[in-house]
Amino acid sequence: MNVVRIAIAGFGGVGRATANLLLARRERYRQVHGADIRLVAVCGSRSGLADADGLEPGRLDALEPGLSGPAFIEASGADILIEAGPSDFRTGGPGLAYIRSSLSSGRDAIVISKGALVHSGPELRALARSSGAMLKLSGAAAAALPTIDLLEHSLKGCEVLEIEGILNATTNYLLDAMMNQNLGFDEALARAQAGGFAEADPRNDTEGWDTASKLILIANFGLDADLTMDDLSVEGVQSIAAHDIEAWRKQRLVPKLVGRLVRTDSATRAAVGVRTYPPSDPLAHVSGKNKAIRITTDAMGETIAIGSGTEPLATAAAALKDLEHILTARAARASRGSGGEA
Residue 11 assigned ligand-binding role = yes
Q: What confidence score (pLDDT) does residue 340 get?
A: 55
- Give me Rg for the CA atoms of the chain: 21
**Does the annotation place 185 within a ligand binding site?**
no
User: Which pLDDT tens digit goes with each residue over 245-270?
Assistant: 999 999 999 999 999 999 988 789 99
Looking at the domain 148-307, which fold is it? Dihydrodipicolinate Reductase; domain 2 (3.30.360)
83 labelled as ligand-binding? no
pLDDT digits (tens, 9 = 90+) for 120-177: 999 999 999 999 999 999 999 998 899 999 999 999 999 999 999 999 999 999 999 9
Domain range summary for the chain, segments of one domain joined by +: 2-143+313-337, 148-307
Q: How far is CA 11 from the centre of its chain?
A: 16
Scored b (16 or more CB within 10 A) or e, 185-200 reads beebbebbeeeeebee
Catalytic residue status for 321: no
Q: Rounded to the nearest 10 degrees, how much is the dihedral formed by the CA atoms of 117, 171, 314, 192? A: 130
- CATH topology classification for 2-143+313-337: Rossmann fold (3.40.50)
Catalytic residue among 136, 214, 289, 321: 214
Length of the chain: 342
Q: Is 48 annotated for ligand binding?
A: no
Q: What is the mean pLDDT of each run of 10 residues along the chain (342 residues)?
A: 95 97 98 97 97 95 95 98 94 95 98 96 96 97 92 94 97 96 94 88 95 97 94 96 96 98 90 98 95 97 92 95 96 76 44
